[in-house]
Amino acid sequence: MIIVTTYTISGYDVVETLGFVCGNTVRARNVTKDVQAVMENLVGGEVEHYTKLLAEAREQAMDRLIAQANAKGADAVVGLRFSTSEIATSAAEIMCYGTAVKLKESV
C-alpha cells in the first residue's frame, strides 16, 4: 500500500478512483502519565508523554485508513491529510483521510 500526500505517484498512473477513506481515533494516557506530563510542563522541554500519545494516535488512525483502503481493494491512498481537534482534555484526537486509488505502472 503506497500512501502519499500528493495526488500523483511517480512511475504509476491512477486507473481507478475508489473513493474517500479515513481513519480516526481518540486516545488518552493514564492519570499517572498525565501527572508526569504536568510536571514536564512545569520544567519545560519536550512533553515526552504527550509526544508519545500523539504518535500512538497517528499510527492507529493510519492503520484504520489503510484497513479501509484494503477493504476497497486499493493499491494506494493519495492526497493524505491529517486533522486534529480536542474532544477531551489530555486526549489526542487525530483523523487522517485521503482518496483510495488503483494504480498501473506507467509505460
Partner 1 sequence: MSAKDHPPPSRDELLAMAYVDGELDENARRDFELRLAAEAPLALEVAELRQLAVLARQVAPPEPMDSEWDRLEKEWLHTGGRSFSLLLTAAGVIGLFLWGVYAAATASFGLVPRVLLVALLVGLAGLFLVTLRARLRTLPYDPYTKVKR
What residues line the site for partner 1 (CB under 8 A)?
1, 27, 32, 35-36, 46, 48, 51-52, 55-57, 59-60, 63, 66-67, 70
Continuous H helices in the chain: 31-43, 48-71
Nearer to partner 1 (CB atom), residue 11 or residue 45: 45
Nearer to partner 1 (CB atom), residue 57 or residue 96: 57
Residue 53 CB, nearest approach to partner 1 (Å):
9
Q: Helix 48-71 vs helix 31-43: angle between axes, to the nearest 10 degrees? A: 130
Burial of 78 (0-12, 13-18, 19+ CB in 10 A): buried
The residue whose grid cell reads 504527550 is 50
Contact in structure between 86 and 93 (CB atoms under 8 Å): yes
Residue 58 CB, nearest approach to partner 1 (Å):
8
Residue 56 CB, nearest approach to partner 1 (Å):
4
Nearer to partner 1 (CB atom), residue 70 or residue 107: 70
